[in-house]
Structure 1
Amino acid sequence: MPDPRFSILSEDFAAAPHRYFARLREQAPVHHEPALDSYFLSRHQDVRRVLTDHEAFSTEALQVRAEPVRRGPVLAQMTGAEHTAKRGIVVRAFTGRALQDQIRVIRTHAAGVVAPFLPRGRMDLVNDFGRPFAVRVTLDVLGLDTEAWQQVAHWLDGVTEFVTGLVLTPERRRHCLDCALQLEAHLVPVVEQRRRHPGEDLISTLCTAEFDGTALSTRDVTALIVNVLLAAVEPADKTIGLLFKHLIDHPEQLAQVREDPALLPAAIAETLRLTPPVQLVPRRAEKDAEFAGGVVPAGATVFCVIGAANRDPAAFTAPDTFDIHRQDLGTARSFTAAAQHLAFGTGLHQCVGAAFARAEIETVAALLLPLLDRVRYSPGFRYREVGLYTRGPASLELDFTPVHT
């Protein structure tokens, strides 16, 4: 880049990545980060190309980044018949009639988690609500004990840190691996019990499923469970917080959504476009790849900068503006593989939990909006986002009209 001191690993970038997105797209669309010996792509067309050309850009990078803590291959690493079969099992568990049953579970948990805060008229939407809710509802859908949600959340934090940490000290690496081992030890007895006595839950479905005429191993099932836990928990708690942040910052649009709940899916889609919870997606270049800004050599790790791609003026009008009425997003397709934004990825390895995420966030927002009347930031609250790989509010302290029940 023109300024050799620029680094994606810098504190300035970490504090506000969006301030650098235009600079990346315009001056260095193929940015090399020497400390990681990796390349970062930021233009919408380049990111889409990488995510859809599965032969030229493989998911082998996940073998080092994800497999050690997910305790086995993840869906994104799989190809061919294995990927089709295992993805199909998971997708069916989060669509159709199963999804309608899950919406009732979502409502129950959301109402239960928010209830103690309603009479107080004050709540941290991220730490008091978002995180506890997302973990508990995902455990319930999987058929796991929700009473252990805090311990599971702790282990998941370690797993997430390993997958998303661009630079880990040996001490943090050991901590993350220990969390993964403990989570696996927690899950294995459940998997073995469901093999003997299957029920209607997703774990039982995985235990009784077959691939190529052979039942999935306990390691296969455990890896898929961790895969689902991360895919369901990470986007949900961040997106709920970000949605309310954007609506509070744009009171006229908040009023419109309150008046017409049919606008809620558009508000969620626009939140995902402007502030995607997953900011980076890694791939490995299987051969030299030319882009307008340079060449990515064969064997190199490529990071797709989703946040920058989603703000590319070549793809969206006024891309740095939050607008639930924008015409170039296409709300109806924003939660499918045909989405214009790239918050769920795209192509063969689009996020397996997109449909569940939409139902979860819509259900929660529809429940909370009427309850959080005159919602506003608490006095003295200062907004801050954290994370490079995944990103969201550190907290969101809100005041609202108390609800007396």
Structure 2
Amino acid sequence: MQMINPDFSVLSDDFAADPYRYFASLREQSPVHYEPAIDSYFLSRYQDVKRVLTDHAAFTTETLQVRAEPVMRGPVLAQMTGAEHTAKRKIVVRGFTGQALQDQIRAVHTNAAELIAPFLPRGKVDLVNEFGRPLAVYVTLDVLGLDKKDWQQVAAWHSGVAEFITSLSLTPERRRHCLECAEQLEAYLVPVIEERRRHPGEDLISMLCSAEFDGIAMSNRDVTALIINVLAAATEPADKTLALLFKHLIDHPEQLARVCQDPTLLPAAIAETLRYTPPVQLIPRQADQEAVFAGITVPAGATVFCMIGAANRDPDAFTAPDTFDIHRPDLGTARSFTAAAQHLAFGTGLHQCVGTAFARAEIETVAALLLPLLEQARYSPGFHYRETGLYTRGPVALSLDFTPVHDMPLHSGASRGRSTH
């Protein structure tokens, strides 16, 4: 176990290179870690993180006014409370459930099949850069009803938005760049919103445009903020989770073989990936009142970062938490994608991720398509695995070699892709 010295910082290059090395010592030696450079507290124990995420009166999302609202172009769901939060969350959830979800899964399968097809005869693909990232943006644009020909431009704007939200410190130049990305994304979206108001379709933007809160239609600003909210939430974790799932299965060949033989184990493998290496590592809150953790007082008004990666590896919550095990009995696959999830990868409580059901369906569908195609998947010769990210974290690349596939019908197996839900 890494010892925490007085000069330790979660903002250091050493921590960024591999935060998992430090989680046990943080939980045991410094469960309430203060970072003076950003005047913030970092909590690493499962019980403390869960307390912060579920006590909405004592720990608010006020910090998002500074961390998210400037690039979301308006308040996001996590900032809302009471009747407004309930109503607007229901509107967004409706876009990810029922028939809408079934239609989206068909689109997910089609997009995934088309994106992977050129790589199959080659027997080689970078699952992050050549497949996962474009797929995540394609799928999100489909959900929103935006033109996929604009995907690279939308992805570039989204990258600036995500950088603003997930950076713990920004230079003035990077801050300006991120805000410009948000302004350009808003300028792109407003004419689309106005068109959907006049001619609504079946997409999520149309649904938001036609919805009302308190008998009043949502403004363009309200709709823009929710669209960017969905774009960030749906795009950011999806490619990371997919790549991490394949990494862990390749690193544990006996578990990979079991999943390939029995596809009903796939949800358990996804749930364990989310616990073991959650793509969202930090969730910020603001202490509304003074609070005490492990005998240490966090003052009222302080920013508190919940360390999801550390909480998900807490031995008080999981047996042998540093072991990847799709058969672990203390995770509970059925509840791992619900508000009763034991892991905290989607957050928990009132502001649990609104797209949890969609995330499960998307990753299951894509993994079920890829596993039989990427036969004998292994790291490409010379490939060196590396992860980046403090707030959100995932592989820089995942270069795989596999047995080449020829003559794969693009749309075959669509029903199979939906059968796992």
Q: TM-score, normalised by structure 2?
A: 0.96
Give 2:172's aligned residue: 170
Give 2:66's aligned residue: 64
1:225 to 217, 224, 227: 227
Question: Given that residues 110 and 133 in structure 1 are in contact (C-alpha distance below 8 angstroms), is that contact kept between their aligned partners in structure 2?
Answer: yes
User: Aligned with 2:136: secondary structure?
Assistant: helix
The amino acid of 2:47's aligned partner reads: Q
Give 1:312's aligned residue: 314
Question: Given that residues 4 and 25 in structure 2 are in contact (C-alpha distance below 8 angstroms), is that contact kept between their aligned partners in structure 1?
Answer: no
Give 2:417's aligned residue: none
Per-residue deviation, 1:30: 0.5
Give 2:361's aligned residue: 359
Give 1:300's aligned residue: 302
Question: Given that residues 46 and 317 in structure 2 are in contact (C-alpha distance below 8 angstroms), is that contact kept between their aligned partners in structure 1?
Answer: yes
Give 1:263's aligned residue: 265
Task: Give CA-to-partner distance per residue, 1:45-72, whole Å, 9 cap, x none.
Answer: 0000000000000000100000000110
1:16 to 18, 22, 30: 18
Give 2:187's aligned residue: 185
2:398 to 378, 388, 396: 396
Give 1:336's aligned residue: 338
Q: Which segment is superposed worse, 39-48 or 293-302?
A: 293-302
CA distance in 2, matches of 1:152, 1:202: 17
Per-residue deviation, 1:2: 5.9
Per-residue deviation, 1:295: 1.2
Question: Given that residues 9 and 35 in structure 2 are in contact (C-alpha distance below 8 angstroms), is that contact kept between their aligned partners in structure 1?
Answer: yes
2:88 to 86, 91, 99: 86
Provide runs of 4+ in structure 1 moved above 2 Å: none
User: Aligned with 2:313: secondary structure?
Assistant: coil
Task: Give CA-to-partner distance per residue, 1:233-277, whole Å, 9 cap, x none.
Answer: 111000000000000000000000000000000000000000000
1:89-108 matches, within 5 Å, as 89-108=91-110
Question: Given that residues 240 and 365 in structure 1 are in contact (C-alpha distance below 8 angstroms), is that contact kept between their aligned partners in structure 2?
Answer: yes
Task: Give CA-to-partner distance per residue, 1:182-215, whole Å, 9 cap, x none.
Answer: 1111111000000111111111110011001110
Aligned-residue CA RMSD (Å): 0.8
Give 2:146's aligned residue: 144
Give 1:73's aligned residue: 75
The amino acid of 1:374's aligned partner reads: Q
The amino acid of 1:6's aligned partner reads: F
User: Aligned with 2:41: secondary structure?
Assistant: strand
Question: Given that residues 4 and 26 in structure 2 are in contact (C-alpha distance below 8 angstroms), is that contact kept between their aligned partners in structure 1?
Answer: no
Percent same amino acid among aligned pairs?
Answer: 80
The amino acid of 2:79's aligned partner reads: Q
Task: Give CA-to-partner distance per residue, 1:269-311, whole Å, 9 cap, x none.
Answer: 0000000000000000000001114111000000000000000
1:128 to 111, 115, 130: 130
The amino acid of 2:387's aligned partner reads: E
1:28 to 19, 27, 30: 30
Q: Which segment is superposed worse, 29-38 or 292-301?
A: 292-301
Per-residue deviation, 1:3: 1.8
2:388 to 386, 389, 395: 386
Q: 1:14 to 1:206 in 2, by over 3 A?
A: same
Q: 1:97 to 1:298 in 2, by over 3 A?
A: same
Task: Give CA-to-partner distance per residue, 1:141-170, whole Å, 9 cap, x none.
Answer: 110001111111111110000000011100
Task: Give CA-to-partner distance per residue, 1:324-356, whole Å, 9 cap, x none.
Answer: 000000000001110000000000000001000
Give 1:291's aligned residue: 293
CA distance in 2, matches of 1:134, 1:312: 30
The amino acid of 2:255's aligned partner reads: Q
CA distance in 1, matches of 2:16, 2:295: 23
Query: Structure 1 unaligned runs (5+)?
Result: none
1:214 to 194, 201, 216: 216
1:246 aligns with 2:284: no
User: Aligned with 2:334: secondary structure?
Assistant: helix
Question: Given that residues 258 and 369 in structure 1 are in contact (C-alpha distance below 8 angstroms), is that contact kept between their aligned partners in structure 2?
Answer: yes
User: Aligned with 1:90: secondary structure?
Assistant: helix
2:119 to 97, 117, 120: 117
Give 1:372's aligned residue: 374
